[in-house]
Amino acid sequence: MRIPILKLHDCLLISIQWELDDATALQFQEDLLHKIHETSANGVVIDLTSIEIIDSFIAKVLGDVINMSKLMGAKVVITGIQPAVAITLVELGITLSDVMTAIDLEKGLEKLQKELGD
């Protein structure tokens, strides 16, 4: 199963609405990087509102995909991080310190478009 990636103007939107298994997470990483390449997207919003827990493997994949997207020239905003997910990320040492975050998808998209100068 794959996670759908929506293209809206020059941004990609992804809403992760269920706990990912390892294979889906890796597939998502690959799909997102291909989609950035294919669409020349400048920004990516990953919405985690519906994710209530995250394990260390998924947290690592998420950290990796953010860094990879940046290398490819896309700005990343993570939205809707739940308290338990924030706790897990920090405890795992994944502080996402140089990643933009926002409370929800709308705010994330606004932030990204401002940043991209739209």
Residues forming the site for its own copies (CB under 8 A):
1-9, 13, 15-18, 47, 105-106, 109
Please say which residue, 45 or 74, places its beta carbon nearer to its own copies: 45
**Alpha helices per DSSP H over 1-118:** 22-39, 56-71, 83-91, 105-115
Please say which residue, 9 or 114, places its beta carbon nearer to its own copies: 9
Least distance in Å: CB of 61 to its own copies? 18
Order of all β-strands in the sheet with 100-102: 6-8, 11-15, 43-47, 75-79, 100-102
What count of other Cβ atoms lies within 10 Å of the Cβ of residue 15?
Answer: 18
Please say which residue, 90 or 103, places its beta carbon nearer to its own copies: 103
Least distance in Å: CB of 29 to its own copies? 16
